[in-house]
């Protein structure tokens, strides 16, 4: 008897929904970013599809700031395996940093990176607001 492996189907729409929700982006916002031809209902229908048109998938991926391949190929079972292999007997495997000065420097660098990210997001939001106001 031949052994067959079952490849679970990857639903691009379901993957899109998962990434959108992980990024805390509402369907309305995604529709706004895609343009005036889009609305919340169309995003909901898009998220129910098994396959998404390549052009639309690329646009959505750019808006979510993730690679389109992540949406195309995300496999929940593989993700669960990776996460479960990251833990050892219920506790995360990690290296400890016992030098307080190194930890302080790391926190300082993270703080600077966060400020830079916040400034970038503020600029992007201002651009969106200007587009919204300019479109009236």
Domain that holds residue 13: 8-86
70 and 27, same domain (yes or no):
yes
Distance from C-alpha of 44 to C-alpha of 13, rounded to nearest angstrom: 9
Distance from C-alpha of 10 to C-alpha of 58, rounded to nearest angstrom: 17
15 and 53, same domain (yes or no):
yes
- pTM: predicted TM-score of the whole model, two decimal places: 0.54
pLDDT at 83: 58
65 and 120, same domain (yes or no):
no
48 and 81, same domain (yes or no):
yes
111 and 47, same domain (yes or no):
no
CA torsion angle 18 19 20 22 (round to 10) = 90
Query: Tokens representing 44?
Result: 């909901």
44 and 23, same domain (yes or no):
yes
Query: Do the domain assignments include residue 91?
Result: no
pLDDT at 91: 52
> Which residue is listed with tokens 């587009």?
131
Rounded to the nearest 5 degrees, what angle is found at the Cα of 16, between the Cα atoms of 49 and 79? Answer: 115
111 and 66, same domain (yes or no):
no
pLDDT at 4: 44
How many separate domains does the chain show? 2
pLDDT at 118: 92
pLDDT by position in tens, the chain (length 136) = 444 444 567 789 999 999 899 889 999 999 999 999 999 999 999 999 999 999 999 999 999 998 898 888 887 766 666 556 655 555 545 555 567 787 788 888 999 999 899 999 999 999 999 988 886 6
Query: Do the domain assignments include residue 26?
Result: yes
pLDDT at 50: 93
CATH number reported for the structural domain that contains residue 35 in this entry = 1.10.260.40
Euclidean distance between the first and the last CA atom of the chain, given in angstroms as a whole number: 67
Distance from C-alpha of 57 to C-alpha of 59, rounded to nearest angstrom: 5
109 and 73, same domain (yes or no):
no
79 and 21, same domain (yes or no):
yes
Helix (H, G, I), strand (E, B), or coil: what is residue 87? strand
């Amino acid at each position: 008897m031949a052994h067959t492996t079952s490849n679970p189907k990857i639903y691009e729409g379901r993957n899109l929904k998962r990434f959108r929700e992980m990024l805390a982006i509402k369907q309305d916002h995604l529709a706004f970013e895609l343009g005036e031809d889009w609305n919340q209902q169309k995003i909901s229908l898009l998220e129910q599809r098994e396959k998404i048109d390549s052009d639309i998938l690329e646009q959505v991926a750019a808006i979510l700031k993730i690679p389109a391949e992540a949406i195309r190929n995300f496999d929940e079972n593989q993700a669960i395996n990776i996460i479960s292999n990251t833990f050892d007997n219920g506790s995360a495997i990690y290296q400890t940093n016992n030098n307080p000065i190194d930890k302080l420097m790391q926190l300082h660098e993270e703080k600077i990176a966060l400020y830079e990210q916040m400034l970038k997001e503020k600029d992007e939001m201002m651009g969106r607001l200007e587009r919204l106001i300019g479109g009236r």
